[in-house]
Amino acid sequence: MKKILSVVGARPNFMKVAPLHRAFEQYKGPVSHQMVHTGQHYDRAMSKVFFEDLELPQPDFYLGVGSGTHAEQTAKVMVEFEKVLVEQKPDLVIVVGDVNSTVACSLVAVKLGVPVAHVEAGLRSFDRTMPEEINRLVTDAIADFLFVSEPSGVRNLRSEGVPEEKIFFVGNVMIDSLISYREKARRSVIRKDLGLGGAPYMLVTLHRPSNVDDKQSLSRILAAFERLANRTAIVFPIHPRTRKMLGEFGLMDRANAISSLKLLEPLGYLDFLSLMEQAQLVLTDSGGIQEETTYLGVPCLTLRKNTERPVTVEVGTNLLCGDDLGVGVEQSLAILGGRKKAGIVPDLWDGKAAQRIAEIVISKLYS
Ligand code: UD1
């Protein structure tokens, strides 16, 4: 029997590993699949609720590393993950996405001679000020199997000289979860609970350091909400980082004063999916939400100058509005007024990415 360990650490990892776990469960016998949770995200709303919503079993190993500077967090994950690997001696480590846990566990595994598979490989924003870009570059440089979600990922890896036999275009595991849970999410009562009824609303998520760790930038975001507030309800589940910064910059009262702005705690997977599917517009700086809105055909404005997921702009419903909130407000008003960018679903975003990955992994482990 071959032993596979998948790593989860932060919120966007859970919905990527859930379909992989289910796919490997079908091969129980030839493989055992276990999960390691690094504890990078630890609040109930940032972690546990996703295990419940995605019907994931409890992780087999919990490293409890928590927050810290990048060096502290990465180092703590490495030290704790090394102990698990030395004891468990898996045949393969699977890492997903681009968070600090992804790069930390890849480094440990490769140095212990354990092969690494990176799911969501090859994405590049070409912006090295983003911590995630560094995590992506390093992970892809050392991983053995690179599972890619969109054509740009294949192009990027080729142009970096990655050998062809390491690259597998398999589609998008995050969309696997969306397809599996869309019906269940439709039964969420979140809109009723928020008093939205059938009223139109805009959904917002913002947590990138470049947007929220700077007082001027956060103030500009609130000014944009003030301009949009008389046109639409604004639903904003706040990431802990963003809440902390609103408090530190003394901006909480200004945010609370915007009458149609609903500031919420972070939401679970099903409630958020339900809100996303029915939104008139989503404003975000997240990576995954650009993909989910493209799949759902919901207009998305991304408050960033670049995206590592260009297919969402090329064929999907995503528009980049840079960091110019003036442009963002104008684009929002146009969309709220009915001017919507049409989109199509990218290739292989069909709910079967995890199955493809499992088949490839098993054939490689037994070759
Ligand atoms: C991390 C990822 C980012 C991903 C995001 C999704 C990195 C470099 N960044 O960013 O790519 O898009 O997760 O959410 O890995 N905190 C809590 N409770 C928690 C987790 C965090 O209060 O459960 C607070 C802490 O004060 C912490 C801060 O949020 O210092 C930031 O957390 P951290 O994991 O460092 O990065 P994120 O901003 O969440």
Residue 99, ligand 1, Cβ within 6 A: yes
Rounded Cα gap, residues 207 and 113, in angstroms: 35
pLDDT digits (tens, 9 = 90+) for 205-248: 999 999 999 999 999 999 999 999 999 999 999 999 999 999 99
- How confident is the model at residue 166, as a pLDDT? 98
- Model's pTM, two decimal places? 0.97
CA of 229 to the centre of ligand 1 (A): 28
Cα 155 from Cα 315, distance rounded (Å): 17
pLDDT digits (tens, 9 = 90+) for 154-208: 999 999 999 999 999 999 999 999 999 999 999 999 999 999 988 899 999 999 9
**Burial (CB count within 10 angstroms: exposed 0-12, middle 13-18, buried 19+), residue 103:** buried
User: By alpha-carbon position, which residue is closest to atom 34 of ligand 1?
Assistant: 40
* Location of each CATH 3.40.50.2000 domain in the chain: 2-171+349-365, 183-336
Residue-wise pLDDT for 116-125, tens only, equals: 999 999 999 9
For 230, phi and psi rounded to 5 degrees? -85, -5
User: Hey, which of 65, 99, 244, 304 would you mutate to test ligand 1's pocket, going by the most ligand atoms within 8 Å of its Cβ?
Assistant: 99
37 is catalytic: no
Tell me if 234 sits within 8 A of 258, measured CB to CB. yes
Question: Cβ(27)–Cβ(362) under 8 Å?
Answer: yes
Phi and psi at residue 203, to the nearest 5°: -110, 135
Q: What is the pLDDT of residue 275?
A: 98
* CATH code, 183-336: 3.40.50.2000
- What is the per-residue pLDDT for 29? 87
DSSP three-state, residue 205: strand
Is 340 a residue whose pLDDT tops 90? no
Helix and strand numbers (H, E) in the chain are 17, 13
Residue whose Cα lies nearest atom 17 of ligand 1: it is 240
Q: What is the DSSP letter of 166?
A: G
Pick the CATH number of 2-171+349-365 from 3.40.50.2000, 3.40.50.970, 3.30.565.10, 3.20.20.20: 3.40.50.2000
Please check the confidence at residue 353 and state whether its pLDDT lies above 90. yes
